[in-house]
Amino acid sequence: MDDAYIALGSNIGDREAYLLRALKMFRKTGPVSLTGLSGIYQTAPVGYTEQEPFLNMVCRLRVSVGPFELLEMLLNIETALERKRTTRWGPRTIDLDMLLYGNEKIHAPLLTVPHPCMFERAFVLVPLRDVYPFETLEGASLTERIASCSDREGIVLYRSSQDAESLLNQAS
């Protein structure tokens, strides 16, 4: 069993409902166990900025499948939640990115772990810090990494991790 950290984001429709639906799907999947939730953060879009703000969070999963099987599960959840890939960094109902998988270093055509852009994105690192049990990652502190991100000012706590957990439990 390994821990995997998954970033979730949504900026179309009922953003919070899409996050909760994805989390509920994790709970219903046998080879994964949801073991941690970050707060939910509202963030400005990065890259393609002519779109609505995102809600972002990170969850920790305990997994008994390999990283490529987990990736397939993530893609299946995105499909089930009507994710359309039309514009790079564009609007989406749900976006699920594998940030970390145990201590694995993977460089494959379909998967790179740790996620190749995560250290440049405060909208990923801030919620990751809520659920990641260590202060340092890949040789630097999360606080230092967040401070060096250009998007660090555009992140606002939308719901605490306790509120997110409570909503998820109510929705189950």
- By DSSP bridging, strand 54-63 and strand 106-107 are unpaired
- By DSSP bridging, strand 54-63 and strand 2-10 are antiparallel
Which residue of the set 83, 129, 145, 159 is catalytic?
A: 83
Structural contact between residues 7 and 97, judged by C-beta atoms closer than 8 angstroms: yes
Which residue of the set 2, 21, 62, 97 is catalytic?
A: 97
Q: How many CA atoms lie within 13 A of 39 on its CB side?
A: 14
Which residue of the set 15, 92, 121, 159 is catalytic?
A: 92
Which DSSP state fits 52?
Answer: P
- Say how far apart CA 95 and CA 81 lie, in whole Å: 10
Which residue of the set 15, 60, 95, 130 is catalytic?
A: 95
- Say how far apart CA 40 and CA 167 lie, in whole Å: 11
Annotation says 97 is catalytic: yes
Annotation says 92 is catalytic: yes
Residue type, 148: S
Catalytic residues: 83, 92, 95, 97
